[in-house]
Structure 1
Amino acid sequence: MVTSNSQNTQKKLSIQVSLNGLSFCILDESSKSVVFSKTLNFEKQLDPIKLLSKIELEYENESRLNQPVDDVKVIFSNALFTLVPEELFSEEQASSFLKFNAKILKTDFVAFDKLSEGIVNVYIPYANITNYFFDKYGEFEYQHSMSVLIETFLQQEQGTAKAFLHCQPNHFELVIIEKGKLLFANSFEYETSEDFLYYLLFTAEQLGMDPEDFELVLCGNISNDAEAYKLAWNYIKNISFAGPLHSFTFDTSKEQNEQAGFLLLNSF
Protein backbone atom coordinates (compact mmCIF):
# COMPACT_ATOMS: atom_id res chain seq x y z
CA MET A 1 0.00 0.00 0.00
CA VAL A 2 1.61 3.27 -1.11
CA THR A 3 0.87 6.59 0.54
CA SER A 4 3.95 8.52 -0.57
CA ASN A 5 4.78 10.38 -3.77
CA SER A 6 8.16 11.92 -2.89
CA GLN A 7 10.79 12.03 -5.63
CA ASN A 8 14.54 12.63 -5.86
CA THR A 9 15.02 11.42 -2.30
CA GLN A 10 18.40 11.63 -0.58
CA LYS A 11 17.80 9.70 2.65
CA LYS A 12 15.39 6.80 2.96
CA LEU A 13 14.22 5.35 6.27
CA SER A 14 12.88 1.80 6.41
CA ILE A 15 11.34 0.44 9.62
CA GLN A 16 10.35 -3.14 10.40
CA VAL A 17 7.58 -3.42 12.97
CA SER A 18 6.65 -6.66 14.70
CA LEU A 19 5.31 -7.63 18.11
CA ASN A 20 8.67 -9.30 18.80
CA GLY A 21 10.94 -6.40 17.89
CA LEU A 22 11.86 -3.38 15.82
CA SER A 23 14.45 -2.64 13.16
CA PHE A 24 15.51 0.66 11.63
CA CYS A 25 17.68 1.35 8.58
CA ILE A 26 18.58 4.65 6.90
CA LEU A 27 20.01 4.67 3.37
CA ASP A 28 21.80 7.64 1.86
CA GLU A 29 20.47 7.38 -1.67
CA SER A 30 23.10 9.66 -3.19
CA SER A 31 26.03 7.53 -2.00
CA LYS A 32 24.15 4.20 -1.78
CA SER A 33 25.43 3.89 1.77
CA VAL A 34 23.65 2.60 4.86
CA VAL A 35 24.31 5.32 7.43
CA PHE A 36 22.28 3.91 10.32
CA SER A 37 20.93 0.51 11.30
CA LYS A 38 19.60 -0.82 14.56
CA THR A 39 17.60 -3.83 15.74
CA LEU A 40 15.72 -4.30 19.01
CA ASN A 41 14.47 -7.75 20.06
CA PHE A 42 11.93 -7.93 22.87
CA GLU A 43 12.08 -10.56 25.61
CA LYS A 44 8.43 -11.38 25.06
CA GLN A 45 5.78 -10.61 22.45
CA LEU A 46 4.02 -7.31 23.01
CA ASP A 47 0.58 -6.06 22.06
CA PRO A 48 0.23 -3.14 19.60
CA ILE A 49 -0.27 -0.59 22.41
CA LYS A 50 2.95 -1.57 24.21
CA LEU A 51 4.71 -1.79 20.87
CA LEU A 52 3.84 1.83 20.15
CA SER A 53 5.31 2.80 23.52
CA LYS A 54 8.57 1.08 22.52
CA ILE A 55 8.63 3.01 19.25
CA GLU A 56 8.01 6.32 21.01
CA LEU A 57 10.76 5.56 23.53
CA GLU A 58 13.22 4.72 20.77
CA TYR A 59 12.55 8.02 19.04
CA GLU A 60 13.12 9.82 22.34
CA ASN A 61 16.44 8.07 23.04
CA GLU A 62 17.97 7.57 19.58
CA SER A 63 18.98 10.93 18.13
CA ARG A 64 19.88 9.46 14.74
CA LEU A 65 16.24 8.53 14.16
CA ASN A 66 15.35 12.19 14.32
CA GLN A 67 17.55 13.28 11.42
CA PRO A 68 15.70 14.60 8.36
CA VAL A 69 14.66 11.91 5.87
CA ASP A 70 12.98 12.26 2.51
CA ASP A 71 11.23 8.92 2.23
CA VAL A 72 9.78 6.55 4.85
CA LYS A 73 8.65 2.95 4.51
CA VAL A 74 7.16 0.85 7.33
CA ILE A 75 7.22 -2.94 7.03
CA PHE A 76 4.65 -4.80 9.13
CA SER A 77 5.76 -8.28 10.08
CA ASN A 78 2.92 -10.39 11.44
CA ALA A 79 0.85 -13.49 10.69
CA LEU A 80 -2.28 -11.46 9.91
CA PHE A 81 -2.11 -11.91 6.15
CA THR A 82 -3.35 -14.10 3.32
CA LEU A 83 -2.46 -14.37 -0.36
CA VAL A 84 -5.23 -14.10 -2.95
CA PRO A 85 -5.12 -14.53 -6.76
CA GLU A 86 -5.66 -11.11 -8.27
CA GLU A 87 -8.52 -12.31 -10.48
CA LEU A 88 -10.47 -13.30 -7.35
CA PHE A 89 -9.62 -10.22 -5.30
CA SER A 90 -12.15 -7.50 -4.53
CA GLU A 91 -11.09 -4.45 -2.54
CA GLU A 92 -14.61 -4.06 -1.16
CA GLN A 93 -14.49 -7.63 0.19
CA ALA A 94 -10.87 -7.54 1.36
CA SER A 95 -11.66 -8.43 4.97
CA SER A 96 -13.55 -11.57 3.93
CA PHE A 97 -10.32 -13.11 2.63
CA LEU A 98 -8.74 -12.81 6.08
CA LYS A 99 -11.53 -14.10 8.28
CA PHE A 100 -10.40 -17.73 8.05
CA ASN A 101 -6.76 -16.88 8.82
CA ALA A 102 -7.07 -14.30 11.59
CA LYS A 103 -9.46 -12.89 14.13
CA ILE A 104 -10.65 -9.56 12.73
CA LEU A 105 -12.15 -6.82 14.84
CA LYS A 106 -14.60 -4.27 13.51
CA THR A 107 -12.03 -1.55 14.21
CA ASP A 108 -9.26 -3.30 12.22
CA PHE A 109 -8.10 -1.66 9.01
CA VAL A 110 -7.42 -4.09 6.18
CA ALA A 111 -4.69 -3.23 3.67
CA PHE A 112 -3.33 -5.02 0.61
CA ASP A 113 -0.21 -5.13 -1.55
CA LYS A 114 -0.49 -6.01 -5.24
CA LEU A 115 2.47 -8.18 -6.18
CA SER A 116 3.81 -9.52 -9.44
CA GLU A 117 2.58 -12.85 -10.83
CA GLY A 118 -1.03 -11.81 -10.18
CA ILE A 119 -0.85 -12.08 -6.38
CA VAL A 120 -2.49 -9.82 -3.79
CA ASN A 121 -1.31 -9.91 -0.18
CA VAL A 122 -4.20 -8.93 2.12
CA TYR A 123 -3.15 -8.04 5.68
CA ILE A 124 -3.85 -6.04 8.82
CA PRO A 125 -1.38 -3.29 9.73
CA TYR A 126 -1.48 -1.94 13.26
CA ALA A 127 -3.65 1.19 13.00
CA ASN A 128 -2.11 2.90 16.04
CA ILE A 129 1.36 2.46 14.51
CA THR A 130 0.34 3.84 11.12
CA ASN A 131 -1.32 6.82 12.83
CA TYR A 132 1.86 7.51 14.81
CA PHE A 133 4.08 7.53 11.72
CA PHE A 134 1.58 9.60 9.76
CA ASP A 135 1.58 12.22 12.53
CA LYS A 136 5.37 12.16 12.54
CA TYR A 137 6.17 12.08 8.82
CA GLY A 138 2.99 12.82 6.92
CA GLU A 139 2.53 10.57 3.92
CA PHE A 140 4.62 7.40 3.88
CA GLU A 141 4.65 3.95 2.32
CA TYR A 142 3.90 0.70 4.09
CA GLN A 143 3.99 -2.95 3.11
CA HIS A 144 3.77 -6.38 4.67
CA SER A 145 7.03 -8.25 5.23
CA MET A 146 5.84 -11.21 3.17
CA SER A 147 5.27 -8.89 0.21
CA VAL A 148 8.89 -7.71 0.35
CA LEU A 149 10.22 -11.26 0.62
CA ILE A 150 8.08 -12.69 -2.19
CA GLU A 151 9.04 -9.92 -4.61
CA THR A 152 12.72 -10.24 -3.66
CA PHE A 153 12.85 -14.00 -4.13
CA LEU A 154 10.80 -14.02 -7.33
CA GLN A 155 13.53 -11.90 -8.88
CA GLN A 156 16.22 -14.43 -7.93
CA GLU A 157 14.88 -17.91 -8.66
CA GLN A 158 14.21 -19.24 -12.13
CA GLY A 159 15.03 -22.98 -11.91
CA THR A 160 13.85 -25.96 -9.90
CA ALA A 161 12.02 -25.67 -6.58
CA LYS A 162 13.94 -23.67 -4.00
CA ALA A 163 12.91 -22.83 -0.44
CA PHE A 164 13.82 -19.41 0.95
CA LEU A 165 13.61 -19.13 4.73
CA HIS A 166 13.79 -15.72 6.42
CA CYS A 167 14.38 -16.24 10.13
CA GLN A 168 13.41 -13.84 12.91
CA PRO A 169 13.31 -14.35 16.70
CA ASN A 170 10.67 -17.01 17.41
CA HIS A 171 9.20 -17.05 13.91
CA PHE A 172 10.19 -17.46 10.29
CA GLU A 173 8.77 -16.83 6.84
CA LEU A 174 9.05 -19.59 4.26
CA VAL A 175 8.74 -18.85 0.53
CA ILE A 176 9.03 -21.64 -2.04
CA ILE A 177 9.44 -20.83 -5.72
CA GLU A 178 9.79 -23.03 -8.78
CA LYS A 179 10.60 -21.77 -12.27
CA GLY A 180 9.69 -18.19 -11.38
CA LYS A 181 6.29 -19.15 -9.90
CA LEU A 182 5.29 -18.92 -6.26
CA LEU A 183 4.38 -22.35 -4.84
CA PHE A 184 4.06 -21.53 -1.15
CA ALA A 185 4.40 -18.66 1.32
CA ASN A 186 3.61 -18.70 5.02
CA SER A 187 4.94 -17.72 8.42
CA PHE A 188 5.47 -19.98 11.42
CA GLU A 189 5.94 -19.29 15.11
CA TYR A 190 8.32 -21.63 16.93
CA GLU A 191 9.85 -22.00 20.39
CA THR A 192 12.44 -24.73 19.90
CA SER A 193 14.77 -25.89 17.16
CA GLU A 194 12.65 -29.02 16.88
CA ASP A 195 9.59 -26.84 16.13
CA PHE A 196 11.63 -25.03 13.47
CA LEU A 197 12.59 -28.31 11.81
CA TYR A 198 9.09 -29.80 12.05
CA TYR A 199 7.39 -26.91 10.21
CA LEU A 200 10.10 -26.89 7.56
CA LEU A 201 10.05 -30.63 6.87
CA PHE A 202 6.25 -30.89 7.10
CA THR A 203 5.86 -28.18 4.47
CA ALA A 204 8.39 -29.89 2.20
CA GLU A 205 6.53 -33.20 2.61
CA GLN A 206 3.17 -31.62 1.72
CA LEU A 207 4.68 -30.20 -1.47
CA GLY A 208 6.42 -33.45 -2.38
CA MET A 209 9.90 -31.97 -1.97
CA ASP A 210 12.66 -34.44 -1.09
CA PRO A 211 15.02 -33.08 1.65
CA GLU A 212 17.85 -34.84 -0.17
CA ASP A 213 17.25 -32.79 -3.31
CA PHE A 214 15.70 -29.35 -2.77
CA GLU A 215 17.80 -26.32 -1.92
CA LEU A 216 17.16 -24.33 1.25
CA VAL A 217 18.39 -20.73 1.23
CA LEU A 218 18.58 -19.03 4.62
CA CYS A 219 18.54 -15.35 5.44
CA GLY A 220 17.69 -13.10 8.36
CA ASN A 221 18.55 -13.74 11.98
CA ILE A 222 20.24 -17.14 11.65
CA SER A 223 23.82 -18.35 11.31
CA ASN A 224 25.62 -21.67 10.99
CA ASP A 225 26.16 -21.59 14.75
CA ALA A 226 22.41 -21.63 15.48
CA GLU A 227 20.93 -24.84 16.88
CA ALA A 228 18.10 -24.67 14.33
CA TYR A 229 20.65 -24.61 11.49
CA LYS A 230 22.63 -27.53 12.94
CA LEU A 231 19.48 -29.61 13.34
CA ALA A 232 18.24 -28.82 9.83
CA TRP A 233 21.63 -29.77 8.41
CA ASN A 234 21.07 -33.37 9.55
CA TYR A 235 18.05 -33.68 7.28
CA ILE A 236 18.46 -31.19 4.43
CA LYS A 237 21.60 -31.64 2.36
CA ASN A 238 21.57 -28.48 0.25
CA ILE A 239 21.63 -25.47 2.61
CA SER A 240 23.14 -22.10 1.78
CA PHE A 241 22.90 -18.51 2.94
CA ALA A 242 21.52 -15.79 0.69
CA GLY A 243 24.23 -13.48 -0.55
CA PRO A 244 23.87 -9.69 -0.75
CA LEU A 245 21.07 -8.77 -3.14
CA HIS A 246 21.96 -5.08 -3.17
CA SER A 247 24.90 -2.80 -3.97
CA PHE A 248 24.86 -0.73 -0.77
CA THR A 249 27.93 0.01 1.32
CA PHE A 250 27.99 0.50 5.09
CA ASP A 251 29.53 3.18 7.24
CA THR A 252 31.82 2.33 10.16
CA SER A 253 29.05 2.61 12.75
CA LYS A 254 27.12 -0.36 11.37
CA GLU A 255 25.23 -1.95 14.28
CA GLN A 256 23.81 -5.13 12.78
CA ASN A 257 25.12 -7.76 10.43
CA GLU A 258 23.97 -7.81 6.85
CA GLN A 259 21.99 -11.04 7.11
CA ALA A 260 19.98 -9.80 10.11
CA GLY A 261 19.06 -6.70 8.11
CA PHE A 262 18.04 -8.68 5.02
CA LEU A 263 14.41 -7.59 4.99
CA LEU A 264 15.01 -3.85 5.35
CA LEU A 265 17.94 -3.79 2.92
CA ASN A 266 15.71 -5.36 0.28
CA SER A 267 12.80 -3.01 1.00
CA PHE A 268 14.55 0.04 -0.50
Structure 2
Amino acid sequence: METANKEKNINKKLSIQVSLNGLSFCILDKETNEICYFKKINFEKQLDPIKVLAKIEVTYEQEDELNQQVDEVVVIYTNPLFSLVPEKLFDEDNAASYLKFNTRILKTDFIAFDNINEEIVNVYIPYTNITNYFFDRYGEFEYMHGMSILIESLLSLPKEVSGPKAYLHVHDKFYELVIIENGKLIFANSFEYDTKEDFLYYLLFTAEQLKLDPEKFDLIMMGEIKKESEEYKMAWDYVKNISFMGPFHPYSFKKMAKPEEDLSEYLLIKSL
Protein backbone atom coordinates (compact mmCIF):
# COMPACT_ATOMS: atom_id res chain seq x y z
CA MET A 1 0.00 0.00 0.00
CA GLU A 2 1.13 3.55 -0.62
CA THR A 3 1.21 6.42 1.81
CA ALA A 4 -0.95 9.49 1.39
CA ASN A 5 1.75 11.88 0.09
CA LYS A 6 0.74 11.74 -3.57
CA GLU A 7 1.02 15.42 -4.53
CA LYS A 8 4.66 15.08 -5.50
CA ASN A 9 7.25 12.36 -5.60
CA ILE A 10 9.41 12.78 -2.49
CA ASN A 11 11.42 9.62 -3.22
CA LYS A 12 11.97 8.81 0.44
CA LYS A 13 10.98 5.66 2.30
CA LEU A 14 10.58 5.42 6.07
CA SER A 15 11.03 2.06 7.77
CA ILE A 16 10.04 1.57 11.42
CA GLN A 17 10.65 -1.52 13.53
CA VAL A 18 8.41 -1.92 16.56
CA SER A 19 8.89 -4.37 19.41
CA LEU A 20 8.09 -4.32 23.11
CA ASN A 21 11.84 -4.05 23.77
CA GLY A 22 12.62 -1.08 21.55
CA LEU A 23 12.19 0.91 18.35
CA SER A 24 14.27 1.56 15.23
CA PHE A 25 13.68 4.13 12.48
CA CYS A 26 15.46 4.78 9.21
CA ILE A 27 14.79 6.82 6.07
CA LEU A 28 16.10 5.87 2.65
CA ASP A 29 16.62 8.45 -0.08
CA LYS A 30 15.64 6.28 -3.04
CA GLU A 31 17.19 8.70 -5.54
CA THR A 32 20.69 8.41 -4.09
CA ASN A 33 20.30 4.94 -2.48
CA GLU A 34 21.49 6.54 0.75
CA ILE A 35 20.11 5.97 4.25
CA CYS A 36 19.86 9.57 5.42
CA TYR A 37 18.37 9.03 8.90
CA PHE A 38 18.69 6.34 11.54
CA LYS A 39 17.53 6.20 15.15
CA LYS A 40 17.49 3.28 17.58
CA ILE A 41 15.82 3.30 21.00
CA ASN A 42 16.26 0.43 23.47
CA PHE A 43 13.86 0.25 26.40
CA GLU A 44 15.26 -0.59 29.82
CA LYS A 45 12.61 -3.27 30.21
CA GLN A 46 9.87 -4.80 28.08
CA LEU A 47 6.87 -2.49 27.81
CA ASP A 48 3.23 -3.04 26.86
CA PRO A 49 1.83 -1.68 23.55
CA ILE A 50 0.29 1.37 25.26
CA LYS A 51 3.64 2.45 26.70
CA VAL A 52 5.39 1.67 23.40
CA LEU A 53 2.98 4.04 21.64
CA ALA A 54 3.81 6.73 24.20
CA LYS A 55 7.52 6.24 23.35
CA ILE A 56 6.73 6.59 19.63
CA GLU A 57 4.81 9.83 20.22
CA VAL A 58 7.69 11.28 22.25
CA THR A 59 10.18 10.27 19.56
CA TYR A 60 8.19 12.13 16.89
CA GLU A 61 8.11 15.20 19.13
CA GLN A 62 11.88 15.11 19.66
CA GLU A 63 13.14 14.03 16.22
CA ASP A 64 12.62 16.71 13.56
CA GLU A 65 13.87 14.34 10.85
CA LEU A 66 10.88 12.07 11.43
CA ASN A 67 8.51 14.88 10.54
CA GLN A 68 9.81 15.31 6.99
CA GLN A 69 7.66 14.22 4.08
CA VAL A 70 8.06 10.66 2.83
CA ASP A 71 6.13 8.84 0.13
CA GLU A 72 6.48 5.29 1.47
CA VAL A 73 6.17 3.91 4.98
CA VAL A 74 6.66 0.35 6.20
CA VAL A 75 6.18 -0.76 9.82
CA ILE A 76 7.73 -4.02 11.02
CA TYR A 77 6.20 -5.75 14.03
CA THR A 78 8.68 -7.97 15.84
CA ASN A 79 6.91 -10.18 18.35
CA PRO A 80 6.26 -13.89 19.08
CA LEU A 81 2.55 -13.59 18.21
CA PHE A 82 2.71 -15.41 14.89
CA SER A 83 2.15 -18.77 13.26
CA LEU A 84 3.32 -20.06 9.87
CA VAL A 85 0.78 -21.88 7.71
CA PRO A 86 1.24 -23.60 4.33
CA GLU A 87 -0.53 -21.45 1.75
CA LYS A 88 -2.56 -24.43 0.49
CA LEU A 89 -4.09 -24.89 3.94
CA PHE A 90 -4.68 -21.24 4.76
CA ASP A 91 -8.26 -20.00 5.21
CA GLU A 92 -8.49 -16.25 5.74
CA ASP A 93 -11.91 -16.53 7.38
CA ASN A 94 -10.43 -18.69 10.12
CA ALA A 95 -7.10 -16.86 10.52
CA ALA A 96 -7.40 -16.65 14.32
CA SER A 97 -7.56 -20.44 14.63
CA TYR A 98 -3.92 -20.76 13.55
CA LEU A 99 -2.80 -18.68 16.53
CA LYS A 100 -4.94 -20.03 19.34
CA PHE A 101 -2.54 -22.85 20.28
CA ASN A 102 0.57 -20.71 20.76
CA THR A 103 -0.70 -17.33 21.94
CA ARG A 104 -3.55 -15.83 23.92
CA ILE A 105 -5.98 -14.04 21.62
CA LEU A 106 -8.20 -11.25 22.91
CA LYS A 107 -11.54 -10.36 21.33
CA THR A 108 -10.14 -6.95 20.47
CA ASP A 109 -7.07 -8.36 18.65
CA PHE A 110 -6.83 -7.78 14.92
CA ILE A 111 -5.39 -10.73 12.98
CA ALA A 112 -3.11 -9.91 10.04
CA PHE A 113 -1.18 -12.10 7.63
CA ASP A 114 1.70 -11.87 5.16
CA ASN A 115 2.08 -14.05 2.09
CA ILE A 116 5.65 -15.33 1.79
CA ASN A 117 6.85 -16.53 -1.63
CA GLU A 118 3.44 -17.97 -2.57
CA GLU A 119 3.96 -21.03 -0.37
CA ILE A 120 3.80 -19.81 3.23
CA VAL A 121 1.41 -17.52 5.10
CA ASN A 122 2.52 -15.83 8.31
CA VAL A 123 -0.50 -15.16 10.52
CA TYR A 124 0.20 -12.67 13.31
CA ILE A 125 -1.15 -10.06 15.70
CA PRO A 126 0.05 -6.49 15.10
CA TYR A 127 -0.39 -3.85 17.81
CA THR A 128 -3.65 -2.21 16.80
CA ASN A 129 -3.12 1.02 18.75
CA ILE A 130 0.24 1.54 17.01
CA THR A 131 -1.17 0.68 13.60
CA ASN A 132 -3.93 3.27 14.15
CA TYR A 133 -1.38 5.89 15.18
CA PHE A 134 0.63 5.48 11.97
CA PHE A 135 -2.55 5.42 9.88
CA ASP A 136 -3.61 8.75 11.40
CA ARG A 137 -0.17 10.17 10.65
CA TYR A 138 0.48 8.77 7.17
CA GLY A 139 -2.75 7.43 5.75
CA GLU A 140 -2.33 4.04 4.11
CA PHE A 141 0.99 2.33 4.73
CA GLU A 142 2.50 -1.14 4.58
CA TYR A 143 3.10 -3.27 7.65
CA MET A 144 4.66 -6.68 7.97
CA HIS A 145 5.84 -9.11 10.61
CA GLY A 146 9.61 -9.32 11.16
CA MET A 147 9.61 -13.09 10.65
CA SER A 148 8.07 -12.60 7.19
CA ILE A 149 10.90 -10.28 6.13
CA LEU A 150 13.50 -12.63 7.59
CA ILE A 151 12.19 -15.76 5.86
CA GLU A 152 11.58 -14.01 2.55
CA SER A 153 15.07 -12.51 2.47
CA LEU A 154 16.76 -15.81 3.37
CA LEU A 155 14.80 -17.82 0.82
CA SER A 156 15.89 -15.34 -1.85
CA LEU A 157 19.57 -16.10 -1.26
CA PRO A 158 21.35 -18.20 -3.93
CA LYS A 159 20.31 -21.83 -3.48
CA GLU A 160 23.04 -24.18 -2.35
CA VAL A 161 23.03 -27.95 -2.03
CA SER A 162 25.69 -28.17 0.67
CA GLY A 163 23.29 -29.18 3.44
CA PRO A 164 21.10 -27.32 5.93
CA LYS A 165 21.85 -23.77 6.99
CA ALA A 166 20.58 -22.37 10.29
CA TYR A 167 20.13 -18.59 10.43
CA LEU A 168 20.01 -17.10 13.91
CA HIS A 169 18.72 -13.53 14.14
CA VAL A 170 19.30 -12.10 17.62
CA HIS A 171 17.36 -9.38 19.43
CA ASP A 172 17.52 -8.28 23.06
CA LYS A 173 16.54 -11.40 25.05
CA PHE A 174 15.01 -13.33 22.15
CA TYR A 175 15.96 -14.62 18.73
CA GLU A 176 14.46 -16.03 15.57
CA LEU A 177 15.85 -19.29 14.22
CA VAL A 178 15.27 -20.12 10.55
CA ILE A 179 16.59 -23.31 8.96
CA ILE A 180 16.72 -23.75 5.20
CA GLU A 181 17.82 -26.78 3.22
CA ASN A 182 18.10 -26.93 -0.57
CA GLY A 183 16.18 -23.69 -0.93
CA LYS A 184 13.26 -24.92 1.22
CA LEU A 185 12.17 -23.69 4.63
CA ILE A 186 12.25 -26.56 7.11
CA PHE A 187 11.94 -24.65 10.40
CA ALA A 188 11.21 -21.15 11.71
CA ASN A 189 10.42 -20.07 15.25
CA SER A 190 11.36 -17.50 17.89
CA PHE A 191 12.68 -18.16 21.39
CA GLU A 192 12.96 -15.95 24.46
CA TYR A 193 16.05 -16.43 26.63
CA ASP A 194 17.42 -14.98 29.87
CA THR A 195 20.86 -16.59 30.02
CA LYS A 196 23.51 -17.72 27.55
CA GLU A 197 22.67 -21.28 28.56
CA ASP A 198 19.04 -20.73 27.46
CA PHE A 199 20.36 -19.25 24.22
CA LEU A 200 22.33 -22.39 23.47
CA TYR A 201 19.67 -24.82 24.70
CA TYR A 202 16.98 -23.79 22.20
CA LEU A 203 19.46 -23.91 19.33
CA LEU A 204 20.80 -27.37 20.18
CA PHE A 205 17.36 -28.76 21.09
CA THR A 206 16.00 -27.66 17.70
CA ALA A 207 19.00 -29.21 15.94
CA GLU A 208 18.43 -32.46 17.84
CA GLN A 209 14.73 -32.59 16.96
CA LEU A 210 15.55 -32.04 13.28
CA LYS A 211 18.43 -34.55 13.44
CA LEU A 212 21.00 -31.92 12.48
CA ASP A 213 24.58 -32.68 13.48
CA PRO A 214 26.27 -29.64 15.15
CA GLU A 215 29.49 -30.84 13.52
CA LYS A 216 28.00 -30.48 10.05
CA PHE A 217 25.31 -27.82 9.67
CA ASP A 218 26.21 -24.18 9.01
CA LEU A 219 25.10 -21.59 11.57
CA ILE A 220 24.91 -18.02 10.25
CA MET A 221 24.35 -15.26 12.80
CA MET A 222 22.95 -11.75 12.41
CA GLY A 223 21.20 -9.15 14.52
CA GLU A 224 22.43 -7.97 17.89
CA ILE A 225 25.31 -10.39 18.41
CA LYS A 226 29.08 -10.09 18.00
CA LYS A 227 32.10 -12.34 18.38
CA GLU A 228 32.61 -10.77 21.80
CA SER A 229 29.13 -11.84 22.95
CA GLU A 230 28.93 -14.53 25.60
CA GLU A 231 26.20 -16.24 23.58
CA TYR A 232 28.46 -16.45 20.56
CA LYS A 233 31.35 -17.84 22.60
CA MET A 234 29.14 -20.54 24.10
CA ALA A 235 27.70 -21.55 20.72
CA TRP A 236 31.25 -21.73 19.33
CA ASP A 237 32.04 -24.53 21.79
CA TYR A 238 29.24 -26.72 20.42
CA VAL A 239 28.67 -25.81 16.77
CA LYS A 240 31.57 -26.31 14.39
CA ASN A 241 30.65 -24.06 11.46
CA ILE A 242 29.64 -20.58 12.66
CA SER A 243 29.84 -17.40 10.61
CA PHE A 244 28.16 -14.00 10.39
CA MET A 245 25.95 -12.89 7.54
CA GLY A 246 28.00 -11.11 4.89
CA PRO A 247 27.09 -7.91 3.00
CA PHE A 248 23.33 -7.88 2.56
CA HIS A 249 22.32 -4.47 1.20
CA PRO A 250 23.37 -1.97 -1.50
CA TYR A 251 22.91 1.24 0.50
CA SER A 252 25.34 3.88 1.66
CA PHE A 253 24.87 5.88 4.86
CA LYS A 254 24.81 9.61 5.44
CA LYS A 255 27.17 10.75 8.17
CA MET A 256 25.57 10.25 11.61
CA ALA A 257 22.93 7.93 10.09
CA LYS A 258 24.82 4.66 10.32
CA PRO A 259 24.10 1.97 12.92
CA GLU A 260 27.06 0.68 14.91
CA GLU A 261 26.72 -2.62 13.06
CA ASP A 262 24.62 -3.05 9.90
CA LEU A 263 23.74 -6.60 10.94
CA SER A 264 22.07 -5.34 14.12
CA GLU A 265 19.42 -3.71 11.90
CA TYR A 266 19.02 -6.53 9.38
CA LEU A 267 15.21 -6.47 9.28
CA LEU A 268 14.96 -2.68 9.23
CA ILE A 269 17.36 -2.36 6.29
CA LYS A 270 15.91 -5.39 4.45
CA SER A 271 12.45 -3.80 4.54
CA LEU A 272 13.61 -0.80 2.50
Q: Label 1:23 to 1:213 Cα distance change in 2 as closer, same or farther (>3 A).
A: same
Matches within 5 A, 1:67-146: 67-146=68-147
Q: Does 1:208 align with 2:234?
A: no
Counterpart residue type for residue 170 of structure 1:
K
Which of the numbers 168, 177, 191 marks the counterpart of 1:174?
177
Unaligned runs of 5+ in 2: none
1:108/1:124 contact within 8 Å kept? yes
Residue 270 of structure 2 corresponds to which residue in structure 1?
266
List gaps (5 residues or longer) in structure 1: none
Would the aligned equivalents of 1:157 and 1:177 in 2 still touch at CA under 8 Å?
no
The answer to whether structure 1 residue 193 and structure 2 residue 188 are counterparts is no
Say yes or no: does 1:16 pair with 2:17. yes
Confirm or deny: 8 A CA contact 2:4 2:71 kept in the other structure: no
CA distance in 1, matches of 2:118, 2:68: 37
Q: What aligned pairs does 1:209-224 form with structure 2 within 5 A after superposition?
A: 209-224=212-227
Distance 2:247 2:224 in 1: 14
Aligned to 1:66: 67
d(CA) in 1 for partners of 2:102 and 2:3?
Answer: 29
1:254 CA drift (Å): 2.5
Distance of 1:30 and 1:244 partners within structure 2: 21
**Are residue 151 (structure 1) and residue 155 (structure 2) matched?**
no
Quick one: structure 1 residues 63 and 219, their matched pair in 2 at CA, closer, same or farther if it must change by over 3 Å?
Answer: same
- Aligned counterparts of 1:66 and 1:243: Cα–Cα separation in 2: 33
1:16 partner letter:
Q
Q: CA RMSD in A?
A: 1.4
Q: Distance in 1 between matches of 2:166 and 2:233?
A: 17
CA distance in 2, matches of 1:6, 1:31: 20
Cα distance, 1:237 vs structure 2: 1.1
The count of corresponding residues between Structure 1 and Structure 2 is 267
Normalised by the length of structure 1, the TM-score is 0.96
Secondary structure in 2 aligned to 1:87?
A: helix
> Quick one: distance in 2 between partners of 1:94 and 1:112?
8
CA distance in 2, matches of 1:219, 1:254: 20
What does the per-residue CA deviation read over 1:131-174, in whole Å, with 9 as the maximum and x for residues that have no partner? 00000000000000000000000011522210011101011011
Aligned partner of 2:253 among 239, 250, 264: 250
Contact 1:79 1:187 in 2 (8 A): yes
Counterparts of 1:148 and 1:20, CA distance in 2: 19
